[in-house]
Amino acid sequence: MVEILSRLFKEADLEDIDKVVYLTQGRVAPLFDAPEFGMAEKMVIKAMALAFKKSVEEVTISYKKSGDLGETAEKLSSQEDSIARSTRSRMTVEEVFKSLKSLTETTGEGSVDKKVEILANLLQGSDPCSARFIARIPVDKMRLGFSDMTVLEALSWMIDGTKKHKDRIEEAYNIRPDLGYISVQIKKSGVAGVEHVKPAVGTPILGMRAERLTSAGAILEKIGKCAVEPKLDGLRTQLHYKKKGIDGKPFIKLFSRGLENVTPMYPDLVAAAVKELNCDEIILDGEALGFDPQTERFLPFQETVQRKRKYDVESFSVSKPLRLVVFDCLYYNGQNLIAETYRRRREVVEGLLRHGKILVCAQMLEVDTSQKLDLFFKDCLKRGFEGIMAKKLDGVYQAGARGWNWIKL
């Protein structure tokens, strides 16, 4: 698979490489920004009926036999007479990509019929093998059997026929998890194209994860004097903020641990960012927790998780308000802080959120003895936290990785 993909990427023009990469994943955008096609199987069946001049019943019977919309499209396409097949023009990647993207942009009254027509035109203009995959993309069933990591290996293989660049490419991907962007950089400049990849406001960074040890003594033996913070049991949230977006208004996006855009779910955090952040642009890593405005105590995870919803968002933001407890800063006013020490990143957070009400700085204590660490640990448990996170004072932020710069107890 890696070798086949690398050949495909080599053949692709620079102008097409990002589109080719997205399409191999059945997308028309990066994972974190993946717009919905909004097509159910019945709509795809209607499009096939229109494209291949069959009844919906005929297509449905064929689909039930194979159980695969793609195979059904390929079979129906190959059954067309030779005259119909010969009139097809060979579609370019860009044409297919634009048509599929238009499916995600077609909304409102009459959108169902418009989507069916767009897909039917695509299927009608494609050869049987292409029809197989075009039919699968809108219902997210590509069945190709590889992941983003396979694509990263293929990009390495494209450079010199080895996987030796994969780790470096993956490091860049963890900071900018956009396969299209990464592929363009490599197509232009080889592995040098991703040597200096920086965070970008609006593109989520894969969150760092912690290793685990079982005692205060083991932690201090591993990383020495360290910072300890309460281990928070909430919703891992990354906040991206620009004082002035393209439209001149504040630009704010919130992403979950899985890179899902959760901005519409947390209007209270969006409002707090506008009110409380005094900077040009920033990317913050933290944990969103529900809290009781009367007692100021954080709510259990079972109540906090109710805020992750698409409906009744406004009423829940009033009855179960959130605080974003910030424990890291990855980008600040044009500065990439990922390779900076924990101490430096912490200084930025403390300076920025000194007077925060909703966006607050995580509690932190520096400890150099197991007794101090144990006392802090026990205090955190009493206050209802899961435990503690110990952080190496000169440790960098290892995007997407589990490392000993963070240790949980």
Query: Out of 19, 75, 187, 231, which one is annotated catalytic?
Result: 231
354, with CB counted inside 10 A (0-12, 13-18, 19+), is: exposed
CA distance 24 to 183: 13
Per the annotation, the verdict on 408 as an active-site residue is no
User: Would you mind telling me the total number of residues written for the chain in this entry?
Assistant: 409
Amino acid sitting at position 277: L
Three-state DSSP state, 246: coil
- Dig out the tokens for 208 from the structure: 């760092």
Amino acid sitting at position 195: E
CA distance 68 to 180: 28
Span between the terminal Cα atoms of the chain, in Å: 41
52, with CB counted inside 10 A (0-12, 13-18, 19+), is: buried
Q: What angle do CA 335, 339, 344 make, to 5 degrees?
A: 70
**CB within 8 A of 177, min separation 6: which ones?**
30, 31, 32, 148, 203, 204, 205, 206, 259, 400
Closest of 398, 228, 274, 262 to residue 330, by C-alpha: 398
Instruction: Give phi and psi for 242, each to the nearest 5.
Output: -130, 130
What's the distance, CA 299 to chain centroid? 27
Closest of 245, 269, 243 to residue 255, by C-alpha: 269
Give the residue numbers marked as catalytic: 231
